[in-house]
Structure 1
Amino acid sequence: MSLVVYLAAGVFGFSSVLLFRRRPGALRDPLALSTCAAIVLGSLVFVCAAPLTLSAVNDLTGVPNFGAPLTYGMLSAYSCSLLVLLVNWRGGPRERVRRLVLRCMAAYAALIVAIVVLFALGDARTERLTDLDTYYATTPGLREMIALYLTGHGAALVAMCAVCVKWGREVTGLLRTGLRLILAGALLDLLGFQATKSTAVVARWTGHDLDFLSTTVAPPLASLAALLCSAGFVLPRLLPAAVAQWRGLGEHRELRPLWAAVRFASTAPQPRTAWWWLPQERLRWREVSIHDALLALAPYFDEDVRTRALDAALRAGRSPHQARIDAEAAMLAAAARRAAAHEPPLDAPSPYRLHATEVPGTSGLVELARALPGCLWTPRESQVR
């Protein structure tokens, strides 16, 4: 069980690393900071709830079941962080946001203090690593502590569900998808973890034994619910960047034929740290390097080559735009061969400007790269002046 809980904590917490990796100013962004705080606290809840951690904490402090108020306090802090995150995510006037955040923090701080006090007043001499909630469900002090932490966590989940339903009607796109994931996670936590735990505790109050709900059913449902909530918070912030990186990777690969043909003419040095660059950074460097190479090859551009290739492309049924790209590819291929052979530049090079240098971004370069391997007309060396 501990291994599963630690794995859930690791996956849950890794998303916070991704958020901070995204940009250096994340610590100054209340939304990014509150998102990461909620995810980290959720990870710590899992870590604290693992039987191995509970046993280690109890041995370290010398207090039987000291891990219980630690875990319950961490869970209450996590509940508070979820509400704070929703407040920051929803936004609004700064003073109103600040006031709501302070109210949430004050309420759950009082809850955490009450949990610690009730634990100190109760009698928990027998160490229980997996079934403390039900074992001490009827013990004075501990009984109130258990009811209090379940109530605090349940209240946060109900508030989350209400906000997600209301706000989900007002937004679209990735934000709505994220809210639906959060709602699914909150409902699973409410109906899976909260309901099963409460049912098992109430069963003890009435003299029945449904401990398996608390010890076997609740933990995996809580893990799944936390992962869904984490995905809901992170998805709207990371998915656009992930999609952009994926597109950058595809365009970087599509530029390979063009880069292979002109890289010898580029004077842009590759930085030593390029091996760990993300796809978009690699794409930007390749774009700059190719433009540098095209500038170096411009003295070898032959207008006659381009004109002949353009006529051939039009006769083959190409559209005017595609015929232009094919002609430019043929002219570039001829220029690259001449430059690679260390031949002198043309006496009267073509003043023609490539389409790839007229449009922003890499779309023009990608079109040129696609046309380069299959030029409709490739001049023989004897035709190159």
Structure 2
Amino acid sequence: MAGGGVGRPAGGAGVPPVSLVVYLAAGLLGLSAVVLLRRPRTAVRDPLTVSTCVSIVLGSLVFVCSAPLTLAAVNRLTGVPNFGAPLTYGMLSAYSCSLLVLLVHWRGGPRELVRRLVLRSIAAYVPLVAAIVVLFTLGDAHTERLTDLDTYYANTPYVREMILLYLIGHTAATLAMCALCVKWSREVTGLLRAGLRLIMAGSLLDVVGFQLTKYTAVAARWYGHDLDVLSTKVAPPSASLGALLCSAGFVLPRLLPAAAAQLRGLRDYRRLGPLWSRVRFVSTAPKPPSGWWQSPRARLHWREMSIHDALLALAPYFDDQVRARALAAAREAGRSAHEARIAAEAAMLADAARRAAAREAPLAAPSGYRLHATEVSGTSGLVELAQALLPLPAPAQAAAREGTLRTSHG
């Protein structure tokens, strides 16, 4: 991955386009790691989260290291021409190893088996990284190449072997990952299968767009031809897109369920608005700390708790006669038994809220009726009640008005 863009030695003004591409890819990868680590204390206890973030961070570092601007800076700081090459190739090999480790943790299994597979992956790539450093030290690569090192040194002893070694190591990890994803995708469904397909798509793009083009360009140099454009123009953007697809495949199946839960929380929070506006004046629940950082689920939990508190306070005002009239009217209108019950409860609640707001005395013999919303878990019952209140059906409104008039004149 080191050495993309147009072939040129060190020097020149401006920012090479390839640097912008890989820096953008690195930034997007880093952002996904930040999202996964939004709760560091709990995240570090989860091997899957840790391995996912390690893989993403290593992928981001590979892109940063392979940018011509970074290569030039590393070479200048170390005083060693092309020192950025083994650094990038070693980082890419570590990234390849981390992908295998991540897949092992993602698939799971007995702890001892997972541990053994992880150690095998590490044992395979640690010597590879060491060999890359040794071969670079033995080779003659004194002419700095920021963008076309793979093809420029394709025929240089030891450096040639170093280039082949990092490519073979990356290919082995990618093909192993593809094989495991194909096998696993036959056993799973839903978001996990979608994630595996994204990983396969990114891996295939990496194989065809990055690895195959690198092999072709290097082999062309062996036979006296110049296909450097494949290595410098095609490979970098293909590698960037492939890595982003792979990261999306790993991250989305873990983030989408949480995001969907937050969206459902926001939807239910808003749908409870009509009910909350009716009963909020009697709720004694403590107010939560305000701030934009409060998640929709947290806001929903507080609203649900506050509504239940208000319903308890309004219970002495519940009038069974109001509910009975509204129930009969709803049944006559052709509503199902459940719909009629909710409409009747909405009428009784609206009547109770009006009389409590007017500071009327509670009923001498209040109803012992239990609302459907208090019998079911979750917010579904409260949402049904809230939706029945806005707008209140005409029969229920009439029943509630009759109940209010009867209470004031009776």
Give the alignment's TM-score, normalised by structure 2. Answer: 0.90
How does 1:70-81 map onto structure 2 within 5 Å? 70-81=87-98
- Is the 1:87–1:100 Cα contact (8 Å) retained in structure 2? yes
What per-residue deviation string (whole Å, max 9, x for no partner) do you get for residues 49-78 of structure 1? 112211221222222211111111110000
Q: 1:251 to 1:4 in 2, by over 3 A?
A: same
Distance 1:23 1:174 in 2: 24
- Is the 1:254–1:370 Cα contact (8 Å) retained in structure 2? yes
- Indicate yes or no: 2:308 matched with 1:285: no
How does 1:213-228 map onto structure 2 within 5 Å? 213-228=230-245
Structure 2 residue aligned with 1:367: 384
Q: 1:343 aligns with which of 360, 381, 396?
A: 360
State the one-letter code of the partner of 2:94: A
RMSD between aligned alpha carbons?
1.6
- Is the 1:326–1:371 Cα contact (8 Å) retained in structure 2? yes
Q: Which runs of 5+ in 1 are unaligned?
A: none
What per-residue deviation string (whole Å, max 9, x for no partner) do you get for residues 79-106 of structure 1? 0001111122222332222122112112
Q: 1:384 to 1:206 in 2, by over 3 A?
A: farther
Distance 2:87 2:276 in 1: 58
Distance 2:196 2:369 in 1: 52
- Is the 1:299–1:349 Cα contact (8 Å) retained in structure 2? yes
Distance 1:348 1:59 in 2: 88
- Is the 1:334–1:384 Cα contact (8 Å) retained in structure 2? no
- Indicate yes or no: 2:61 matched with 1:44: yes
- Is the 2:288–2:302 Cα contact (8 Å) retained in structure 1? no
Structure 1 residue aligned with 2:373: 356
Shift of residue 274 of structure 1?
4.9
Shift of residue 23 of structure 1?
7.4
Distance 1:5 1:383 in 2: 75
What per-residue deviation string (whole Å, max 9, x for no partner) do you get for residues 221-259 of structure 1? 111111111111122222222221111111111111111
- Is the 1:274–1:282 Cα contact (8 Å) retained in structure 2? no
Q: 1:137 aligns with which of 154, 160, 164?
A: 154
How does 1:170-249 map onto structure 2 within 5 Å? 170-249=187-266
Q: 1:384 to 1:64 in 2, by over 3 A?
A: farther
Percent identity, aligned pairs only?
Answer: 74
Q: Secondary structure at the match of 1:353?
A: coil
Structure 2 residue aligned with 1:301: 318
Shift of residue 210 of structure 1?
0.7
Structure 1 segments of 4+ aligned residues over 4 angstroms from their partners: none
State the one-letter code of the partner of 1:99: R
How does 1:143-158 map onto structure 2 within 5 Å? 143-158=160-175
How does 1:17-56 map onto structure 2 within 5 Å? 17-21=34-38, 24-56=41-73
Structure 2 residue aligned with 1:88: 105
Distance 1:316 1:170 in 2: 50
Q: Secondary structure at the match of 1:237?
A: helix
- Is the 1:310–1:324 Cα contact (8 Å) retained in structure 2? yes
Structure 2 residue aligned with 1:383: 406
- Indicate yes or no: 2:186 matched with 1:169: yes
- Is the 1:193–1:219 Cα contact (8 Å) retained in structure 2? yes
Q: 1:9 aligns with which of 12, 19, 26?
A: 26
Higher relative contact order (CA 8 A, sep 6+): 2
Q: Which runs of 5+ in 2 are unaligned?
A: 1-17
- Is the 1:305–1:384 Cα contact (8 Å) retained in structure 2? no
State the one-letter code of the partner of 2:406: Q
Shift of residue 32 of structure 1?
1.7
Structure 2 residue aligned with 1:125: 142
Pairs aligned (count) = 385
Distance 2:225 2:282 in 1: 82
Shift of residue 4 of structure 1?
2.1
Distance 2:388 2:105 in 1: 49
- Is the 1:302–1:384 Cα contact (8 Å) retained in structure 2? no
Q: Secondary structure at the match of 1:188?
A: helix
Structure 1 residue aligned with 2:11: none
Distance 1:257 1:195 in 2: 61
